[in-house]
Amino acid sequence: VLQSSSSLKASYEDWLLTYGLSISPFHIRWQTAVFNRHFYNWGRWKPRFLYLWFSIGMVFGIVAMFGSVILLGKTLMQTLTQMLTEAPKAQNDRMLQVVVSILSSGLYLRVVPGVNLPVSQLTYFFSAILISGVIHEVGHGVAAIREQVRFNGFGIFIFIVYPGAFVDLFTTHLQLISPVQQLRIFCAGVWHNFVLGVASFIVLLLLPAILFPFYYTGVGALVTEVAEDSPANGPRGLFVGDLVTNLQDCPVYSVEDWNTCLEDISEKSQVGYCLSAATLQQLSFPARVYRRLDGTVECCSNNSLTDICFSYSNNLDSHLYACLPARKVIEASKVCRTNMDCQKDSVPSFCVTPSLENQTRLIRVKHPPHIDMLYVGHPMHLQYTVSLSSFVPRQNFLNIDLPVVIETFCKYLISLSGALAVINAVPCFALDGQWILNSFLEATLSSLIVEKQNRELVGFLILLAGSALLAANVALGLWMVTAR
């Protein structure tokens, strides 16, 4: 609208030029020369070290270019295989797929903000993208100055909702330097992303040691958040600041233990509890027994919030049921699988097991000094609605969320910086891989293919294939997300 106005067009364009802004549909870009002095200082710092640094980066970039093609090809084949072999029901239940293929711990993930990325983690996501992009472009800029290429400026952009960065280099200087020098510049971005990912991984690995003066670990899983709709919510549930030490007879020393224990409880059959014959007779009361649709048995009133139907066996009848108060049965009871586990001092005892629906478990959660929480439901519901940390503050004034914030941000940096390294290394039009490939062909094929036009044709065909491979991965990733 402003550009179509004859009276406002000139002043609007002057305003954009003054502030280094460029605005177009879905795209805003800002460029400045404020940081040029810093870039020149970095590019002239220890020339021999920088030469070695960017030479290693050049080797990494070339290897990454070939590796990214193999990785994308493998991912494409795996996705096609899954599409052809999975039943529709299994496809609906499977983990959400990728729009952008990103490298994380050797695995490809597919991430769409607001679809399979929680809204609460969008700050981590976009911050990690921006930092990864800035480090990527700093690599290009410093390498260019090291190779005597004029540096015009640095900028930041937002495309739709995704932030990024760029550097403006003098094109004529780029064209005049040798192909090997060009490779050092073009490979510097993916090299710096790789280094950032490795550095973040080291910080994540050493985080317990780094935070040791302020937080200690190995004593349990600290509750940092309980969702409002969580089954763990309530007067006898979990609260922020509680320290979980046990799930059933499974000890919990960290968040990883919490997840492992819940998975084991989910996969294994429900454990029972030792109860003497006298106590069983005292606590039980007459109840009607009926079978549910899934074949399991219920013997308590549907209105009861404290009683659970327990099954047990004796020498006369292998299937007996009793409606018992859950807390009285579990507290001061030994966990068991069979009656043999309960034999003690010749006192007749039975292993009573909760008779629950399939996949439902009765779980005893210890979080001293509070009374144990008794949870009835699917173990994964507990896992998804309770957030925990392995770090326990040494002082009350320390924030319990800080270690989680650092840990989560490191994981996003590893993932998204790795993503930029992999994707930009692909020999594809408009990505770093295009310029890496062209310089690589010029450096290696000039003696074999004398005509430059023929070398450019070879490069064009490879770029076409690489672009098709990347586009196929993105298209199938989108399809896998929306097909559910």
Residue 7 has phi, psi (to 5 degrees) of -85, -30
Measuring CA to CA, which residue among 138, 66, 367, 134 is closest to residue 241?
367
Average pLDDT over residues 410-418: 95
Q: Please, which residues bridge with residue 375 across strands?
A: 363
More confident residue, 82 or 440: 440
Lowest mean pLDDT among 28-37, 43-52, 144-153, 342-351: 342-351
Separation CA 240–CA 400 (nearest Å): 9
Which of the residues are catalytic? Answer: 137
Largest CA distance in the chain: 101
pLDDT at 294 over 80: no
Separation CA 313–CA 316 (nearest Å): 8
Predicted confidence at residue 437, as pLDDT, reads: 97
Predicted confidence at residue 146, as pLDDT, reads: 96
Q: Please, which residues bridge with residue 361 across strands?
A: 377
pLDDT at 36 over 60: yes
Confidence of residue 392 (pLDDT cuts 50, 70, 90): very high
Tokens of 34: 């404020």
376, 332 contact by CB (below 8 A):
no
pLDDT at 136 over 70: yes
Cβ neighbours of residue 423 under 8 Å, at least 6 residues apart? 68, 100, 101, 102, 431, 470
More confident residue, 88 or 344: 344
> Does residue 269 come out as left (phi exceeding 0), alpha (psi in the -120 to 50 range) or beta?
beta
Q: CA dist 106 to 75, 235, 415, 427, Å?
A: 12, 43, 10, 20
| Cα angle, residue 69 at apex, residues 448 and 433 outer, rounded to 5° | 65
Q: What mean pLDDT, rounded, does the chain reach?
A: 88
**DSSP label of 343:** -
In 120-278, the DSSP E strands lie at 151-159, 162-169, 215-216, 221-226, 243-244, 246-247, 250-251, 272-276
470, 428 contact by CB (below 8 A):
yes
Predicted confidence at residue 111, as pLDDT, reads: 55
Confidence of residue 453 (pLDDT cuts 50, 70, 90): very high
**DSSP label of 344:** B
351, 341 contact by CB (below 8 A):
yes
Residue pLDDT, tens place only, 55-79: 999 999 999 999 999 999 999 998 8
Average pLDDT over residues 438-458: 94
